[in-house]
Structure 1
């Protein structure tokens, strides 16, 4: 079933409240998927490369990691530990070398970019959000997901959002019927999903289209031609936020827009605590129609 939320701020006055508002939205969707949850926050851009990592044994994996990466790169590295995750700030051009080093250490990469941070774990949304201090996070936009696993195991890697390119991530409600064929096509292009989750295939598809020069709207339009099944996708990029539903649109979805924000929820109750919601324009996104906003 799953529950999706998203919030894109048009104005900066709500930036300090982004994490708190998203947390409330996601908790309201708990009964749509209680096995795992995750949120992507787009905050201030770093001067270098920002990489979110995760380990099941963070005390062991993260001890000394900052010093080791400093020595490896011969350049300053900063690390902020957040429960089972950590956010690394790395010098530009170091991604490949750091990826190889982390793979040797068995440390997972959740996402890479300049402004995006991703936090996801097994558990209820309220517990996952509390572990990572999501309520205290500020930013311009973010998306979240609470999962009811159907096609793959209940694991951290199976949780959404999925990020397969810099500052880009995707959450999904539904199921894709042709994901194995698309997976093979993407692998030939160099976009190789790391899990069996069909949502990661969709994320790789969006990344491949963006790499080919498409904008976010064009990439989302491509899903209507190339991905079969029933789906609602909500996608975040460094500057944007987009939504698309399949032509049947059997999965519930609702949107709200004011002068200050655009919000997405699987159900209207996700909007209950948003400021000014009583004056918002509220509508159900049309089937096979792309909606996107960029800063």
Structure 2
């Protein structure tokens, strides 16, 4: 079933409240998927590249990691740990070397980008948000997901959002029927998924189309042609977020827009406590229609 939320803040004075607002929205969706949860926050742009890391043994793994990586790449590196995750900031040109070193240590990369940070774990949204102190995080926009596993195991890597490109991630409500075939095609192109989750296949598909020179809107339109099943996708990028539903649109979705924000929820109750919601334009996104907002 799963629950999705998204919030794009138009006014900078609201940016400090992003994490708090998104957390309340996601907690409201808990009963749509209580096994794992995740949130992507698009915050301040880094001087270099942010890499969100995950480790099953964070106290051991993250201790001194910034010094080790800094010495290896010959440049300053900073690391801010949060429970099982950490945000590493380093020069963009050092990404490949850093990935190789992190892989040797068994550290997973959840996402990379100049603004994006991804936090996801097994557990209820309220617990996952508290572990990573999501309420304290500011930014211009973010997306979140609470999962009810259907096609793959309940694991950290199986949780949403999935990120397969810089400053880009995707959350999904629904089920794809042809993701195995699409995944095999993507693997031959070098965009193969790393988990059994069909949502990662969708994220890989979008990245592959962007690599072909399509823009995000065109990539999402391509998904309507090439991905079969019932789905609602919400995609975050460095500058905004997009929404698309399959042509049948049987999965619930609602949007609201004011002068201050654009919000998405699997159900209206996720939006009910947003400031000024009583005067918002509220609507159900049309089937097979791409919506996108940018800052």
TM range (shorter): over 0.9
How far does residue 255 in structure 1 lie from its aligned partner after superposition? Answer: 0.3
SS in 2 for 1:252: coil
CA distance in 2, matches of 1:259, 1:185: 43
- Give the Cα–Cα distance (whole angstroms) in 2 for the partners of residues 121 and 235 of structure 1: 19
- 1:42 equivalent in structure 2: 42
Residue matched to 1:94 = 94
Maintained 8 Å contact 1:46/1:114? yes
- Corresponding position of 1:274: 274
- What is the correspondence of 1:1-295 to structure 2 with a 5 Å cutoff? 1-295=1-295
Moved more, 187-196 or 270-279: 187-196
What secondary structure sits across from 2:170 in the alignment? strand
Match of 1:154, SS state, is: coil
| 2-structure distance, mates of 1:171, 1:92 | 26
- Which runs of at least 4 in structure 1 moved beyond 3 Å after TM superposition? none
Q: Secondary structure at the match of 1:76?
A: coil
- Measure, in 2, the Cα distance between the counterparts of 1:205 and 1:256: 28
CA RMSD of aligned residues (A): 0.7
Render the CA deviation track for 1:176-222: whole Å, top value 9, x for unaligned: 11111111111122112110100000001111122222222111111
Residues 106-149 of structure 1, C-alpha deviation per residue, up to 9 Å, x if partnerless? Answer: 10000000000000000000000001000000000000000000
TM-score, scaled to structure 2: 0.99
Structure 2 portions without partners, runs of 5+ = none
TM-score with structure 1 setting the length: 0.99
**Secondary structure at 2:160's aligned position in 1?**
coil
> How many residues of Structure 1 are paired with residues of Structure 2 in the alignment?
295
Distance 2:104 2:274 in 1: 44
